[in-house]
Amino acid sequence: MMGHWFRGSTVVTAVTAATVGAVISVAVAGIAGQDQDQPTRPAQTPDGRPNFNGVWQAVNEAHWDLEAHEALPGMVMQDGVYDYEYAKVPAAPVVALGAAAGVPGSLGVVQGDGRIPYTEEALRIKEDNAENWIDRDPELKCYLPGIPRAMYMPYPFQIVQGTDKIHMTFGFSNAARVIHLDDVDLPPDYTYMGHSVGRWEGDTLVVDVTEFNGRTWFDRAGNFHSEALRLTERFTPMTADAIWYEVTVTDPETFTEPWTIAMPLYRRLDPNATVLDYPCIEFAEEFMYGHLRREQLVQRWEGETMIVEITRKVPPGDRLHEWYRR
């Protein structure tokens, strides 16, 4: 059941298993009824492998939260005028963004029961991360997003495929990764993007990713990992323009057992599709270092914490201003 937030009321939409099953049945029947001469496999490279060259993008809500979640007016919420869960309002630092700060609902991409199997201690850290999203999310500081997060951010990425290396470039933070299909030494230190070693199992590209520095998140909901993170990615062609992307996550310091996310990746078909530079480091400079200015551009800082005071014109007697001015 997915709840949709509206001022003063709650609208609930129920998604039943029968409905989902009917949709899937129709989709499968449609595929079965296609012209059998129509190619469904990607073009092949000269060495006979699926050709993943091109610009790709995920189209889902995993960027906000891997797990199923209802739509929210903000990533960080606070108690509202009334003592009900649905009556919560956006926290002061995000309320000024209005609907732009909203979180779209999602059925989630975590396989199985849909929940991430945290240890008790790690779950407490995750919940604390969510409460302190603005201060802690590496994305807001334009740090390299890490894997798998870079694969489903709402921006395109490009694959350049060779016989012994596969390069991926991402616009956000100028991130990049290399999947090594040949023998290669481990890097001298742990990194944000990890160390990727791949192999082909039929038409599926299987990639083992290790050597993480433990400083990235999976999404904006505070889901995190440690340096012990190990990933197994599987890129399987669905059609000429779609890849089924699966990632099995193993991290015994954070999770009680391995877990898997899965989603399609789609080829960008616009004729001029490309990955443009997104120099977000420049955009985050004031956020990260503004407290060092001699003359402050924001109202005030407490150490390295930006204090944002939101004031709004409200009718006399409207108690919401008591919450927005906290």
pLDDT tens-digit readout, 146-170? 999 999 999 999 999 999 999 999 9
Residues of the chain with pLDDT under 50: 1-36, 39, 310-326
Question: In whole angstroms, what is the distance from residue 203 CA to residue 164 CA?
Answer: 16
Count other Cβ atoms within 10 Å, centred on residue 249: 23
* Number of residues that this document lists for the chain: 326
β-pair partners for 243: 237, 265
Count other Cβ atoms within 10 Å, centred on residue 25: 10
Pairing mode of beta strands 195-201, 176-180: parallel
Question: In whole angstroms, what is the distance from residue 80 CA to residue 147 CA?
Answer: 36
Question: In whole angstroms, what is the distance from residue 106 CA to residue 306 CA?
Answer: 31
Q: How many CA atoms within 13 Å lie on the side-chain side of 152?
A: 26
**Is the C-alpha dihedral spanning 217, 201, 190, 291 positive or negative?**
negative
- 226 CB-contact burial (10 Å; exposed 0-12 / middle 13-18 / buried 19+): middle
The pLDDT assigned to 13 comes to 37
Count other Cβ atoms within 10 Å, centred on residue 61: 21
**Predicted TM-score (pTM) above 0.85:** no
- 304 CB-contact burial (10 Å; exposed 0-12 / middle 13-18 / buried 19+): exposed
- Per-domain residue ranges of the chain: 39-69+105-280
β-pair partners for 179: 166, 196
β-pair partners for 3: 12
Homologous superfamily of domain range 39-69+105-280: Calycin beta-barrel core domain (2.40.128.20)
Q: How many CA atoms within 13 Å lie on the side-chain side of 261?
A: 29
Closest CA to 40 of 237, 202, 239: 239
Closest CA to 72 of 61, 83, 81: 61
Residue 190 backbone phi and psi in degrees, to 5: -70, 150
Count other Cβ atoms within 10 Å, centred on residue 97: 12
pLDDT tens-digit readout, 49-66? 999 999 999 999 999 999
Residue 297 backbone phi and psi in degrees, to 5: -90, -25
Residue with tokens 């209005």: 98
